Structure 1
Amino acid sequence: MSKNSSKNRIVQLVFLYPFFGGIAMQECAAGGKIVGYARVSKADQSLAQQVAQLRALGCDEIYTDQLSGKNARREGLQSALDTLTAGDQLVVPAFDRLGRNQRDLLNIAQELDEKGIALRSLREDIDTRTPLGRMFYSVCAMFAQFERDVISDRTKAGLAAAKAAGRRGGRPKAMDADMRNAIEQKLVGTCLSIAKIAKEHGVSSSTIYNAFPGGRAALIAKRFKVVSDFSVGLDRFQVVEDRTSGDFYWRMIGDTPNQVRAPYGPFPTADDAATALRQLL
């Protein structure tokens, strides 16, 4: 549904509200159980008044929460929603007791409507068993659809702008076993930056950091064992063993990790690596 059509339907419903509001409505046939829900936002506030209102209406069950509406762990509300089935009715003292915000209220109202559960708010005098109350559900549905359309349009526009700028949108690309091995080889055997490696494989730098805690230095320390450490003039060198393959390499102390690999090995023994190094010096 387009934003314009959503707006038009909302305008039509709002225009009809005074007409429906001035007519005495007959309630639809009631059935099922009546479940009440009350909430206060602070532990030192009392639920007594809200609970008394709900009991006066003859609620079969009453559930409560004593916490902020922004807190997602509303166990009382969840229990109330879980116990409701088609034909039942949920009663609240006011809509702000039910939803943390407008979006939350719309989502809950839609969920109840889809399950065939009636909703009644005492302060707003809304009962969805009546024609006027049904219109409330319709307005909620229209606003919810309108909000989804707006979010969808903004998302598409953002992805288009990112694509035009050369950025890849959507969820980050997952790293499978083959990609992980290839990236590990580049971290250990080349001097490419993590940002460059990430770009080559179509993943984010954070994906690589998460896959290899400690980065390149940790990989080198884990994979290579220092066999000997010696100096030639002012330069210091190491002969190291690859724990994975059993091969030997040599490098200058302080060199980037790629210098543990290709140009300086592999050699079958540590002595061979040391001899090759001395021949080059």
Structure 2
Amino acid sequence: MRLDDLKLFTSVVQLGSFTAAANALDLPRANVSRRIGELEKHLNAQLFFRTTRKLRLTQHGEVYYQELLKVVEGIERAQEAIDKLDDKPVGKVKMGILPDSDEAIQPILAAFQQQYPDIELDVRFSSNSYHDIYEQGLDLAFHIGQLQDSSYIARRITALSRFLLASPSYIAQHGMPESVDDIANHRCICYRWPDGSLEDTWHFTDSNIKVFPKLSSNSTNFIRRSMIAGQGLGFLPLLLAVSALESGELVRVLPDYQSKLEELWLLYPDRHGVSRATRLLIDHLLNEIPKIL
């Protein structure tokens, strides 16, 4: 009986299906099913009721799972104790970052791996942190906006402002807006959310402006590139435009007008403890990201 198979069993229970566990652990579904079957054979006990709709623990499976959690957690703590003695943190962290935020986040992650070269990072783009943490088995993920699920641990990173941005070529051709109300007369580029809704109302501290986009996309990277190409005004968080602002490819429009603030969070599941590698990365992100925003 291998420790990896025991961890696999706990993952299947926590994620609710063989398919979800296979996706989260990057394994073929047939591999997961086979290994669970071998575990049941070794124990001479059925651990799951298998139906087409849902996977449920048997009485044997429930007892085995509860006791096994203590064992797996103890083994992980023992491994961490050894790593601390060697002062060489190791392990793998699977994290979800916001789509198109890589320009800002990648240098921060590179600095982390320079400090901890034996920690492996598996970086996934995630537009739905609550869903992807379990669907993809993420150790942590970024989230912008209100918190929706209290079953996760949430660490506030900072408050984000959105900026009205345009390229110098756009301003030269169309002129600089003189007020927020003037935005509606300009060529605007809007974001389309994963659920299909269009972000065509831009929120400021003192007003909300309805815009009529000439271009929209569900990719903030496409929006940013279109703005740089001079196709219109955009309304983006600094996290997604910091490089373009530093290079002068984009400039702020109406800088005296402030957008409503949105909270940036790190979310992670309370899975009976967080690995040392994950804790180190969380601390690094909480310390470094506010410096660039």
Q: Shared fold (TM-score greater than 0.5)? A: no
More helix by share: 1
TM-score (norm 1): 0.22
More strand by share: 2
TM-score (norm 2): 0.21
Q: Which has the higher contact order (CA 8 A, sep 6+)?
A: 2
Please say which structure displays the higher CA radius of gyration. 1
